[in-house]
Structure 1
Amino acid sequence: MTPTDITRAINDLLFTPDLDLDTAIERHFTPDYRQRTNGVWSDRDGFTQHMTRLRSLIRSGHVEVHDELRDGLRYADRHTVTLTRNNGRTSRTEVYLFARFAPDGRFQCVEETTLLITGHSDDENLGLIR
């Protein structure tokens, strides 16, 4: 299997509403997946809750990768996610991400820090919303 990357993962998770969320998560994340966002850990179930909530709030968006590095099973990037919510409000968030792949090419662990670049102050918590 070709390793995933953040662009494919986010596009499947958030910007392809016709793709079943469980299918998208299975495609890009291992069953034992863990994520730390701004210091808060979640397991795959918590991540699924997070994505379910985001999908209910997001109308459209895109991801732009600025820097991306791979070294074996290690992955790091800096990307910006632009989101338009159902209420028409748009935000841009810069993300600094370090990850580990499982041998099958899916994300096994992600640690990230987010920084709201533009948008309403309520959008600062989109990385943790459930």
Structure 2
Amino acid sequence: MRSLATVLEELLNERETPIEEVMARHFAPDYRQRTDGVWSGWSEVARNLAGIRTMIRSVRVDLLNEFVGGYDYADRHLLTVEMQDGTRQTRESYVFGTFAQDGRFERIEEVTLVDPVHSTRE
């Protein structure tokens, strides 16, 4: 079983490795994700992450709470995102998910809040 914080670090900051390779390590082939009410499959998530990588300079992940119980997973984390244009955002996410039998994520449901107070330009 894996921590989503570690997965996010690899997906968003390990840019020399293709998204599909990082995702294959951490997500089952039938992976589905619901973010703010919208469902996406594995390939759509990969496309979205590839696009995000082009828009950001770096991401810091701070894991605030995490629970793993059998195949169930939950966490609350903060992402501090530095965009290519120098702006920064803080995003707080609440995540509930399940693992496949092989330990990779099978499903994640996430709600994300963007904190406008912490959005700045340097």
**Equivalents in 1 of 2:83, 2:27: separation in Å?**
25
Matched with 2:101 is: 103
Which structure 1 residue ranges, 5 or more long, are not aligned? Answer: 121-130
**Equivalents in 2 of 1:7, 1:119: separation in Å?**
21
User: How many matched pairs?
Assistant: 118
Structure 1 residue runs of 4 or more that deviate by more than 3 Å after TM superposition? none
Alignment of 1:1-130 (within 5 A): 3-117=1-115, 118-119=118-119
Which structure 2 residue ranges, 5 or more long, are not aligned? Answer: none
1:4 aligns to what SS in structure 2?
Answer: coil
- Residue by residue over 1:80-106, the C-alpha shift from the partner in whole angstroms, topping out at 9 and shown as x without a partner, is 011101111110000000010001111
Following superposition, the deviation at residue 16 of structure 1 comes to 1.1
Following superposition, the deviation at residue 71 of structure 1 comes to 0.4
- Percent identity for Structure 1 against Structure 2: 36
Normalising to structure 2: TM-score of the pair?
0.93
| Pairwise CA RMSD | 1.0
1:45 aligns to what SS in structure 2?
Answer: helix
* Higher percent of residues as strand: 2
**Equivalents in 2 of 1:87, 1:23: separation in Å?**
27
**Equivalents in 1 of 2:20, 2:88: separation in Å?**
26
- Residue by residue over 1:54-82, the C-alpha shift from the partner in whole angstroms, topping out at 9 and shown as x without a partner, is 00101112100100001000000000011
**Equivalents in 2 of 1:44, 1:22: separation in Å?**
9
